[in-house]
Amino acid sequence: MFQLEPIAALATAPGIGAIAVIRVSGEGSVDLTNRIFRGKDLTQQASHTAHFGTLRTREGAIIDEVLVTVFRAPKSFTKEDVVEISCHGSEYIIRQILQRLTQEGARLARPGEFTQRAFLNGQFDLVQAEAVADLIASDSEASHRTAMTQLRGGFSKKLKELRQQLIDFVALVELELDFGEEDVEFAKRDQLRTLMLNIRQVVRPLIESFATGNAIKNGVPTVIIGKPNAGKSTLLNALLNEEKAIVSDIPGTTRDVIEDELFIEGIRFRLIDTAGLRQTTDTIEAIGVERTMQQLDKAALAIYLFDAAENSEADIRAVQADLQVRNIPYLLVANKTDKLTEAALADWQETFGDDLVQLQANTGAGLDAMKTRLTDFVKRGATLADTTLVTNARHMEHLTATDDAISRAIIGLDSGVSADWLAMDLRIALRHLGEITGEITTNDLLDSIFSRFCIGK
Ligand code: GDP
C-alpha cells in the first residue's frame, strides 16, 4: 500500500479532558513516534497492540505518561501505518506532543485529512466518507441511525452496481458510433430501457427521502400557532416537561436565537419563537395570530392549536387556507376539549375528519397521540429503521441530475434519437452517479470500452 507523508492531529475534542487521543498516520508514523517514546521499541511491535511508556522532549524531560496503540498498514482506518497516542487531556501536553511529532517529521493534518486518506485508499466510498462526518455530528437517535446506515454502505452499493451496468451499455452505444454509417445496434434498446427504469426506481425514492433525511439531520423547525388563549404556552410546557428536553433558558442571552428542542422517537423538533410564547400575560394579547404567522416562514411544520370551546369553524378555515397557500404541513389540534360535550366534540371531529387531533393541554390528555402525529409528518409512513435516507445536499443534487438525464435518455430512446445523443445523456447520468460515490467516470468508461472490446483499433 502506497503511503503518504505522516500527518498528526488531535483526534478527540479540544479542551481539557481526562484523556486525549492524538492520531498519527502515514509512512514512518511508528518510527517517528518511537523516537520520542520511552518504553518498548514500537517498531518491533505487532499491529493492534497497545504499549505503555513516556513521551520525551528533545532534552529528555517527560511530557506525559501515555498509552500508544500501533496499527500497521493496511489494517487501519486510513490503511496507512497509524499510531494512536492516548495521553492526559491537558492542552499543554497535547501541544507539546504535537510539537514533538512535527519536529520528528510529521505535519499537522488538515481537517478531514484522515478520512480523505481512508477514501483515497479505498477504505470506503465518498458517501461513506461523508457519513463519517455525519456520524460524528449526529445528536439524536434518528440522525445517528441514518449516518450509520450510510456508513455501512447504504445506497451507494446499489448505485455503484447500477452505474456499472450503465457503463457497459454506454460502451456498447459508443461502439456503435465507431461504425458510423453501418447500421449496427450493439446495445439492446429494450434492455437499456429496463436498466434506465431501474435506475429511476432507485434514484427517485432517494430524492424523495431528502426532505425526511434533512429533517432528521438538522431537526424539524416547528412552530406552534393559534389565537391568544388557545393554550399554546400550556402546550409548549407540556411538550417540554414531558420530554425533559433541555430548555434553553440562559439568562442574558438573546431569546430570539435560542430555540427549544424536543426529541420524539429520536427525531429532533426545533420549536421556533418559543420566547414569544413564554412572555407574561400582559403582552399575550399582542401576540396575535399575525405574529405567530410570521414565524411560519422559518418553519417546516406547524402545530395549529385552537380553543375548541371558543373558536369558530370559519376562524379555522381561514387559517387553514393561509397554511395551504404557504404550503406548510400542519397539525390541526382542538384544545380544551374538557370544556366540550361529547356531542360538540363529535361535531368538530366530523367537520375536520382525521386531520383533527383532540387535546387537553393543561392535563396532558391527548398529548401522546399528538406526538405520534408529529413524527408521522417526518416519517411519512416510512419506518426509519429500514429506510435509506439521503441527508446530504451534494448527493441530492447529483441524484436529481441523474434522474433528469435518465428521463431525457428514456424519452430519447422512445423517440428513436441517434446513438450519439443517447450516449450524451447516459454519460451525464454516469458522471453524476459517479460523483455521488466518488468513482472517476471518464477513465473507467474508457477502460470498460477497451478491456471488453479489443477490436484491433
Ligand atoms: P396561549 O395564549 O395560546 O399561549 O394560551 P395559554 O397557554 O396561556 O392558555 C390560556 C389559558 O387556557 C390558560 O389559563 C390555560 O391554563 C388554559 N388552558 C390551556 N389548555 C387548556 C385545556 O386543555 N383545558 C382548559 N380548560 N384550559 C386550558
Residues 267/138, Cβ–Cβ less than 8 Å: no
Q: Which residue has the least CA distance to atom 2 on ligand 1? A: 229
Average pLDDT, integer, range 18-26: 95
DSSP 362: T
Q: Which residue has the least CA distance to atom 9 on ligand 1? A: 231
CA–CA distance, 418 with 423 (Å, rounded to integer) = 9
- Residue 49 banded pLDDT, cuts 50, 70, 90: very high
Q: Which residue has the least CA distance to atom 22 on ligand 1? A: 336
ipTM computed for the complex: 0.98
Distance from residue 310's CA to the centre of ligand 1 (Å): 12
Binding-site sequence positions for Mg(2+):
233, 254
ω into 205 cis (within 30 of 0): no
Strand-by-strand arrangement of the 7-10 sheet: 37-38, 49-56, 62-71, 82-89, 17-25, 7-10, 107-108
The residue with greater pLDDT, 122 or 331, is: 331
- Residue 14 banded pLDDT, cuts 50, 70, 90: confident
Residue written as cell 400557532? 225
Strands 17-25 and 7-10: antiparallel
Distance from residue 360's CA to the centre of ligand 1 (Å): 9
CA–CA distance, 284 with 288 (Å, rounded to integer) = 8
Q: What is the pLDDT of residues 356-407, one digit of tens each?
A: 999 999 999 999 999 999 988 877 645 444 567 787 777 888 899 999 999 9
- Residue 135: the pLDDT is 79
| 234 Cβ inside 6 Å of ligand 1 | yes
Helix axes 419-437, 441-452, angle to 10 degrees: 120
Q: What is the pLDDT of residues 144-203, one digit of tens each?
A: 887 888 777 778 888 889 999 999 989 888 888 877 666 777 778 889 999 999 999 999
Q: What is the pLDDT of residues 249-261, one digit of tens each?
A: 433 333 343 468 8
- Please give the number of the atom of ligand 1 that sits closest to the Cα of 339: 26
Strands 267-271 and 82-89: unpaired
The residue with greater pLDDT, 310 or 2, is: 310
CA–CA distance, 123 with 121 (Å, rounded to integer) = 6
Q: In whole angstroms, how far apart are CA 189 and each of 182, 195, 196, 330?
A: 17, 10, 10, 46
Distance from residue 250's CA to the centre of ligand 1 (Å): 25
AA identity, residue 21:
V
| 284 Cβ inside 6 Å of ligand 1 | yes
Q: What is the pLDDT of residues 427-445, one digit of tens each?
A: 999 989 988 877 754 444 3
Q: What is the pLDDT of residues 105-116, one digit of tens each?
A: 999 987 778 887
CB count, 10 Å around CB of 178? 13
Residues 360/366, Cβ–Cβ less than 8 Å: yes
CB < 8 Å & 24+ apart, contacts of 249-255: none
CB count, 10 Å around CB of 345? 17
Binding-site sequence positions:
229-234, 248-254, 273-276
CB count, 10 Å around CB of 417? 16
Binding-site sequence positions for K(+):
229, 248, 250, 253
DSSP secondary structure letters along 99-125: HHHHHTT-EEPPTTHHHHHHHHTTSS-
Q: Which residue has the least CA distance to atom 12 on ligand 1? A: 231
Q: Is the pLDDT of residue 83 over 80?
A: yes
Query: What are the start-end ranges of the E strands in 152-288?
Result: 220-225, 260-264, 267-271
| 364 Cβ inside 6 Å of ligand 1 | no
Pocket test for ligand 1, best of 232, 362, 367 (most atoms within 8 A of CB): 362
Q: Is the pLDDT of residue 241 over 50?
A: yes
Distance from residue 273's CA to the centre of ligand 1 (Å): 18
CA–CA distance, 8 with 114 (Å, rounded to integer) = 9
| 360 Cβ inside 6 Å of ligand 1 | yes
CA–CA distance, 227 with 286 (Å, rounded to integer) = 10
| 334 Cβ inside 6 Å of ligand 1 | no
Domains and CATH numbers, the chain: 7-120 (3.30.1360.120), 156-211+391-452 (1.20.120.430), 217-385 (3.40.50.300)
The sign of the CA dihedral 29, 32, 37, 42 is positive
CA–CA distance, 219 with 36 (Å, rounded to integer) = 46
Q: What is the pLDDT of residues 409-421, one digit of tens each?
A: 999 999 988 888 8
Q: Which residue has the least CA distance to atom 17 on ligand 1? A: 231
Residues 53/112, Cβ–Cβ less than 8 Å: no
- Please give the number of the atom of ligand 1 that sits closest to the Cα of 228: 2
CA–CA distance, 209 with 55 (Å, rounded to integer) = 50
CA–CA distance, 35 with 379 (Å, rounded to integer) = 54
| 329 Cβ inside 6 Å of ligand 1 | no
Residue written as cell 486518506? 117
Query: 70 has which bridge partners?
Result: 49, 83
